[in-house]
Amino acid sequence: MKSSKYSSIMIISPESLIDGRIIAKGDIEILGRVQILEGNSTNNLLVVESGGNIIIHGEVVGDVKCVKSISISGKLIGNIVSAKEVLISPTGVVTGNICTNRFKIADGGHFKGNLEISDDINDIDK
């Protein structure tokens, strides 16, 4: 019996608030808000981790790690590690440090933090 490969995507709807971490093997599209709320017992600020791509239209408060690309047209407050590239659209706002292989920011996009372009991050855990 052949195993078939399906592309998976997790979608966080616009009216959703996720209090905690999201870990997915496939792509993640965030239309709502993801964060670790105060009082939650964690010292790890990583809130979104994906083995695929991450698309942020909503808001993320916390660190994001991705083995592919991250596209931000919403708001992200936290650090980003992306093995392939980080794209900030004209409506995207990022406050935090970015480590990636490629970085693109469109006219109108906002970024405040440090940027590290590195080929070494291809070793991100999958």
pLDDT in tens, 17-73: 999 899 999 999 999 999 987 655 445 688 999 999 999 999 999 999 999 999 999
Confidence band for 106, pLDDT divided at 50, 70 and 90: very high
Residue 126 has pLDDT above 60, yes or no: no
CB 94 within 8 A of CB 64: no
Q: What's the confidence (pLDDT) of residue 2?
A: 46
Q: Is residue 126 part of a domain?
A: no
**How many separate domains does the chain show?**
1
Size of the chain, expressed as the number of residues it contains: 126
Neighbouring C-beta atoms of residue 60, cutoff 10 Å: 29
In a domain, 38, yes or no: no
**Token pair listed for 28:** 């993640």
Residue 15 located in a structural domain: no
User: Does any domain span residue 5?
Assistant: no
Asked if residue 109 belongs to a domain, the reply is yes
